[in-house]
């Protein structure tokens, strides 16, 4: 806590003493004042809500696609091998590269934002799901078979629960990616939201606003990260790698 | 179906599926005739025309330079900071709030600020931007790697009088290296993304810039060629890294295999 | 009077005086060691045995300078031990975790020699000699994880030997190897002691081993730990796995130590230091 206070104080000093001119780096107090006043107005919250909406929808779409496909590819060796090459090639494509294409085709709408966020969030989640399904203890699966559980029941009762920790990790990574891309869509394409506000502030030379929105975005990112990490930890609790007992 | 039959079929699928997807792509773009989705054949021609090699030096080289420099700085700083932080609980107490905040910050939020603070859209601004965000995977993984070193190994080092820089060089760094390498791999793919974002936002050269320009001038084929190049770049860099990792960390694989029993 | 001092002039090499080690505070206070005192003469082989959990490893770590004792002190040649002293080498029980997996056997043994003022040639000589002494010359360029458990422990011993210590501390070094390998390693330790004239403090839970190897056996009590008895082992040297263990004296000593420990394990644990 102390160190955070220390850093904030440093910011204030650096800016006020003109070490970095105040036009470039607004003082900490000014920034937070600006942020506070912005937060009083509905405009801020509207933008905030839009960004959250874009993030959430992107993540939801990605999850709805990645988890089923991941389960399928993870449990079916043939399909996994067949699609391995395309996945390896499509994975590294930075979603950012698609910005101009989306701008031209879908325009500055929520659809663009959600598509971009979903595209980016899809891959880490897919990989993690596949990994989780494949990492199921074969002994557990065999036990299920010896009890004559049908294919789908085995999937539902054995494979899925044991892949939950991996899926949780995938969700944490994907949620970060989704936020970044939602914000990117707003910044670069002008889709309404926090990113758009940042863009405006920069275009009109409103430094305090620029920094205020950036700080706010940082806190949103932090909140999402902490929430998802907590979720991940809960899901991981029973997993052998997390047990601290006898090795 | 017997083992060999299955194997043959699987290999067949591994080849057939990508080919089929590409063929489907070509067919669809021909059929759809949309200006936004030029024919795959057109894109390929454009790709060869642009990147091999007329615009290579003008755009690809600067982009690679920025990635290379940004990544290198991130790695050096990440390891240099990560090792002391990994070793000292007290230092971690101080540093972690800051690290947690910045690693969660969406990088694009800082793009305008980086331009404003550094008063430029030149290489310094881009490399700093790339280096800053690529720092975190390396830093966090270094900290984890150092913390996870077997205490018996550390006790052994201590009992033989190994201290300070010597200890770091001979015991801590090699022991944490597998984990650090994982962080570096993440950092590298992050570097490609950061490069694209920063060049798209504010640049006069580079692959990201080409992306922007082709959008503004409504040239779809070059735009797609740029997209393909970026994907290829990410793929190749990742491949190179994995190959290098395999050579340097060969001992690690052998060791894991042996201790897994 | 301490019988069976081998070599040296009866000088005391290692003295442990009133050693006590406590962990935690308040309710969680654990008295690992209450009050342990004994000494080891120059060139002696002293074994330490005791019921499980009596803090044998803690004792050794304090002697090695890896842990700071809460009470009492450890003296090496009359000087207080506060940090790992240069003349002392420690062989851990978990050998596989104490060897560097990224380095060859040669480099593992070489590492501790780095900061000793020796020429490169001398270092090489020491490394090769000590690996020869433990019989691993053939594997000098292998990686530790390519070797069996017993061989890895031999690498750890070679590493300690190359370091040229005056005192060797060994913490249940053969507990994790099979019986056959253990006898080989025990004999190796005895041979090495003869050749290099080192003083050895050897912790074990194996009573037979302690009598087979030692000049004296220090028997510890359970928590709160102190020295119950120091048993002199007057068996003739050189020791032999078959001949020595056939001697009636061996059986008597063995039974004696066994009874001491059994009584310890059955006695109620007292919370008040003796």
Q: Compute chain A's Rg from CA coordinates.
A: 22
Rounded to an integer, what distance in angstroms lies between the CA atom of residue B255 and that of residue C96?
10
Res. B79: pLDDT tops 90: yes
| Window from A109-118, B149-158, C106-115, C258-267 with minimum mean pLDDT | C258-267
Rounded distance, CA A165 to CA A239, Å? Answer: 7
Is the CB of residue B200 less than 8 Å from the CB of residue B227?
Answer: no
pLDDT mean across residues, chain C = 85
Enter the pTM of the model.
0.82
User: CA C202 from chain center: how many Å?
Assistant: 3
B172, B217, C35 from C172: Cα distances, Å: 26, 76, 21
Lowest mean pLDDT among A15-19, B107-111, B237-241, C40-44: A15-19
Average pLDDT over residues A86-94: 82
Task: Give kind and range of the element (H or E) at residue B197.
Answer: helix B173-201
SS3 category, B206: coil
Write out the two tokens for B203.
């640049």
Give C173's DSSP letter: T
- On whether any CB of chain B is under 8 Å from the CB of A240, the answer is no
With H, G, I as helix, E, B as strand and everything else as coil, classify residue C227: strand
pLDDT at C48 over 50: yes
Specify the higher pLDDT residue, A22 or A186: A186
Task: Answer yes or no: is pLDDT of B90 > 60.
Answer: yes
Give the neighbours of chain C: at least 3 Cβ pairs within 8 Å: B
- Calculate helix-pair angle for B61-87, B123-147, nearest 10 degrees: 30
The yes-or-no verdict on residue C243 having pLDDT over 50 is yes
Q: Does B196 touch chain A (CB under 8 A)?
A: yes
pLDDT at A16: 64
Q: What is the pLDDT of residues B18-30, one digit of tens each?
A: 888 888 888 888 8
- Which has more pLDDT, A240 or B160? B160
Contacts of C100 in chain B (CB under 8 A): 153, 171, 174-175
Question: What integer pLDDT is reported at residue A216 of this predicted model?
Answer: 87
Say how many residues make up chain A.
Answer: 247
**What backbone phi and psi angles, to 5 degrees, belong to A11?**
-55, -50
Asked if A214's CB is within 8 angstroms of B17's CB, the reply is no
Residue A153 pLDDT exceeds 80:
no
Instruction: Please compute Rg for chain C using Cα positions.
Output: 19
**Lowest mean pLDDT, pick from A27-41, B223-237, C213-227:** A27-41
- Rounded CA-CA distance C189/C167 in Å is 13
Give the three-class secondary structure for B8. helix
CA–CA separation, B192 and B208 (whole Å): 10
Nearest chain C Cα to B173, which residue?
C102
Task: Report how far apart, in Å, the C-alpha atoms of B45 and of each of B41, B48, B52 are.
Answer: 6, 5, 10
Q: How far is B160 from chain C (nearest CA, A)?
A: 6
Question: In whole angstroms, what is the distance from residue C77 CA to residue C111 CA?
Answer: 26
Three-state DSSP class for residue B75: helix
Residue recorded with tokens 């003082």: A27
Task: State the DSSP code for C93.
Answer: S
Residue A245 has pLDDT above 50, yes or no: no
Query: For A176-216, how does the pLDDT look when each residue is reduced to its tens digit (9 = 90+)?
Result: 889 999 998 888 888 888 888 888 888 887 777 888 888 88
* In the block, residue with structure tokens 């690290």: B99
CA B129 to chain CA centroid, nearest Å: 14
Hey, which residues does C36 pair with through a beta bridge?
C19
pLDDT for A24 beyond 70: no
Q: Is the pLDDT of residue C173 over 60?
A: yes
Measured distance CA(A125)–CA(A60) in Å, rounded? 11
Average pLDDT over residues B124-140: 91
Residues near B101 by beta carbon (within 8 Å), at least 6 away in sequence: A218, A222
- C-alpha Rg value of chain B to the nearest Å: 23
pLDDT higher than threshold 90 for residue C46: yes
According to the model, what pLDDT value does residue C270 have?
53
Chain Cα centroid distance, residue B239: 10
A247 pLDDT band, cuts 50/70/90, is very low
If pLDDT is split at 50, 70 and 90, which confidence band does A19 have? low
**CB A7 within 8 Å of CB A14:** no
Q: Is the peptide bond before B86 cis (omega within 30 degrees of 0)?
A: no
Q: Which band of pLDDT confidence, cut at 50, 70 and 90, is reported for residue A18?
A: low
Residue B221 has pLDDT above 50, yes or no: yes
Cα–Cα dist B23/B18, whole Å? 9
**Cis bond upstream, residue B209 (ω within 30):** no
**Long-range contacts, B141-144 (Cβ 8 Å, 24+):** B141/B82, B141/B179, B141/B180, B141/B182, B141/B183, B141/B184, B141/B186, B142/B78, B142/B79, B142/B81, B142/B82, B142/B83, B142/B85, B142/B86, B142/B176, B142/B179, B142/B180, B142/B183, B143/B82, B143/B85, B143/B86, B143/B92, B144/B86, B144/B179
B45 touches chain A (CB under 8 A): no
In a 10 Å sphere around its CB, with 0-12 CB exposed, 13-18 middle and 19+ buried, how is residue B5 labelled? exposed
List pLDDT tens digits, range C252-266: 999 999 998 888 777
How far is Cα B126 from Cα C6, in angstroms, rounded to an integer? 72
- Residue from the list A93, A201, A213 with its beta carbon closest to the beta carbon of B230: A93
B-chain residues near C111 (CB < 8 A)? 160, 162, 170
The per-residue pLDDT for B209 is 87
The pLDDT of C149-166, averaged and rounded, is: 90
Among A98-107, A235-244, B58-67, the range with the most confident prediction by mean pLDDT is B58-67
Cα(B61)–Cα(C6) distance, integer angstroms: 74
> Which residues pair with residue C201 across a beta bridge?
C46, C169
Q: To 5 degrees, how large is the angle CA B74–CA B77–CA B81?
A: 135
Our answer on whether A and C touch (3+ beta-carbon pairs < 8 Å) is no
Residue C73 phi/psi, 5° resolution?
-155, 165
pLDDT of amino acid B260 = 65
8 Å CB contact of B252 and C101: yes
Q: What is the pLDDT of residues B159-180, one digit of tens each?
A: 888 888 888 988 999 999 998 9
Q: What is the spatial distance between Cα C140 and Cα C128, in angstroms, rounded to a whole number?
A: 8
B149: alpha, beta or left, given left = phi > 0 and alpha = psi -120 to 50?
Answer: beta
Reported ipTM: 0.78
pLDDT for res C95: 84
Q: What is the pLDDT of residue C274?
A: 42
Instruction: Report whether pLDDT(C222) > 50.
Output: yes
pLDDT above 60 for C272 = no
The answer to whether residues A57 and A114 touch, using CB atoms and an 8 Å cutoff, is yes
B-chain CB neighbours of A84 within 8 Å are: 14
CB atoms under 10 Å from CB of C198, counted, come to 24
* Token output for A168: 């949780």
Pick from A94, A120, A186, A240 the residue to mutate for testing the B interface (most B CBs within 10 Å).
Answer: A94
Peptide bond into C224 cis (omega under 30): yes
pLDDT of residue C31: 72
Supply the pLDDT for residue A243. 43
For the cut 60, the answer to whether the pLDDT of residue C1 exceeds it is no
Work out the burial of residue B79: count CB atoms within 10 Å of its CB; fewer than 13 is exposed, 13-18 middle, 19 or more buried: buried
Residues of B within 8 A of A97 (CB-CB) are 196, 211, 226-227, 230-231
Among the residue ranges A240-244, B44-48, C73-77, C264-268, the one predicted with the least confidence is A240-244
Closest among C167, C27, B107, B211 to A103, alpha carbons compared:
B211
The mean predicted confidence, pLDDT, of chain B is: 86
Looking at the partner chain, which of A2, A81, A99 has a beta carbon nearest the beta carbon of B10? A81
CB-side neighbour CA atoms (13 Å) of A28: 12
Which chain C positions have a beta carbon within 8 Å of B258's beta carbon?
145-146
**Residues C17, C76: contact at Cβ < 8 Å?**
no
Q: What is the pLDDT of residue A1?
A: 64
Strands C88-91, C167-171: pairing kind: parallel
């Amino acid at each position: 806590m102390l160190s955070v206070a220390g850093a904030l104080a440093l910011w204030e000093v650096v800016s006020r003493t003109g070490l970095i001119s105040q036009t470039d780096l607004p003082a900490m107090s000014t920034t937070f004042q600006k942020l506070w006043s912005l937060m009083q107005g509905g405009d801020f919250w509207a933008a905030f809500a839009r960004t959250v909406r874009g993030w959430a929808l992107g993540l939801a779409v990605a999850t709805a696609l990645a988890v089923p496909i991941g389960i399928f590819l993870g449990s079916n060796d043939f399909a996994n091998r067949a699609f391995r090459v395309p996945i390896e090639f499509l994975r590294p494509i930075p979603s950012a590269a698609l910005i101009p294409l989306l701008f031209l085709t879908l325009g500055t709408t929520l659809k663009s934002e959600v598509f971009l966020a979903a595209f980016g969030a899809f891959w880490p989640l897919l990989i993690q799901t596949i990994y989780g399904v494949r990492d199921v203890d074969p002994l557990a699966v065999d036990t299920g078979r010896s009890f004559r559980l049908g294919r789908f029941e085995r999937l539902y009762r054995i494979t899925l629960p044991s892949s939950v920790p991996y899926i949780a990790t995938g969700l944490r990574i994907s949620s970060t990616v989704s936020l970044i891309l939602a914000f990117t869509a707003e910044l670069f394409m002008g889709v309404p939201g926090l990113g758009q506000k940042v863009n405006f502030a920069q275009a009109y030379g409103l430094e305090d606003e620029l920094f205020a929105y950036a700080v706010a975005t940082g806190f949103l990112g932090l909140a999402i990260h902490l929430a998802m990490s907590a979720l991940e930890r809960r899901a991981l609790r029973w997993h052998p790698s997390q047990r601290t007992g006898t090795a | 179906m017997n083992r060999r039959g299955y194997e043959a079929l699987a290999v067949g699928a591994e080849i057939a599926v990508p080919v089929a997807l590409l063929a489907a792509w070509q067919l669809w773009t021909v059929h759809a005739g949309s200006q936004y989705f030029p024919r795959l054949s057109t894109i390929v021609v454009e790709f060869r025309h642009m990147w091999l090699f007329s615009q290579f030096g003008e755009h690809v080289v600067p982009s690679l330079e920025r990635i290379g420099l940004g990544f290198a700085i991130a790695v050096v700083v990440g390891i240099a900071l990560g090792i002391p932080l990994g070793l000292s609980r007290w230092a971690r107490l101080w540093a972690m709030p800051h690290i947690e905040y910045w690693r969660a910050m969406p990088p694009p939020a800082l793009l305008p600020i980086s331009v404003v603070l550094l008063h430029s859209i030149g290489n310094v601004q881009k490399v700093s931007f790339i280096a800053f965000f690529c720092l975190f995977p390396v830093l966090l993984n270094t900290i984890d790697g150092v913390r996870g070193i077997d205490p018996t190994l550390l006790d052994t080092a201590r009992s033989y009088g190994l201290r300070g820089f010597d200890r770091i060089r001979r015991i801590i760094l090699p022991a944490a290296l597998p984990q650090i390498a994982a962080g570096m791999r993440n950092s590298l793919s992050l570097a490609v993304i950061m490069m694209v974002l920063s060049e798209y936002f504010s640049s006069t050269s580079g692959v990201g810039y080409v992306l922007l320009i082709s959008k503004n001038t409504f040239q779809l084929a070059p735009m797609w060629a740029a997209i393909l190049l970026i994907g290829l770049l990410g793929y190749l860099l990742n491949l190179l890294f994995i190959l290098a990792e395999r050579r340097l960390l060969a001992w690690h694989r052998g060791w894991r295999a042996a201790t897994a029993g | 009077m301490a019988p069976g001092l081998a070599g040296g002039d009866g000088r005391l090499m290692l003295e442990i005086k009133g050693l006590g080690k406590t962990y935690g505070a308040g309710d969680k206070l654990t008295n690992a060691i209450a009050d342990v005192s004994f000494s080891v003469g120059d060139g002696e082989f002293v074994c330490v045995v005791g019921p499980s959990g009596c803090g044998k490893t803690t004792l050794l770590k304090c002697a090695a300078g890896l842990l700071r004792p809460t009470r009492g002190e450890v003296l090496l040649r009359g000087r207080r031990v506060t940090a790992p002293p240069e003349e002392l080498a420690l062989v851990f029980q978990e050998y596989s975790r104490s060897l560097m997996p990224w380095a060859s056997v040669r480099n593992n043994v070489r590492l501790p020699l780095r900061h000793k003022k020796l020429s490169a040639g001398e270092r090489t000589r020491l490394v090769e000699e000590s690996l020869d002494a433990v019989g691993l010359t053939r594997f000098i360029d292998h990686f530790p994880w390519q070797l069996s458990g017993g061989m890895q422990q031999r690498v750890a011993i070679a590493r300690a030997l190359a370091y040229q210590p005056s005192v060797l501390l060994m913490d249940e070094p053969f507990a994790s190897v099979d019986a056959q390998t253990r006898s080989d390693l025990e004999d190796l330790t005895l041979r090495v002691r003869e050749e290099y004239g080192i003083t050895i403090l050897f912790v074990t839970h194996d009573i037979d081993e302690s009598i087979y190897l030692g000049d004296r056996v220090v028997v510890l009590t359970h928590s709160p730990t102190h020295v119950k008895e120091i048993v002199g082992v007057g068996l003739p040297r050189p020791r032999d796995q078959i001949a020595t263990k056939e001697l009636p004296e061996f059986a008597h000593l063995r039974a004696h130590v066994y009874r001491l420990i059994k009584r310890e394990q059955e006695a109620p644990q007292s919370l008040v230091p003796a």
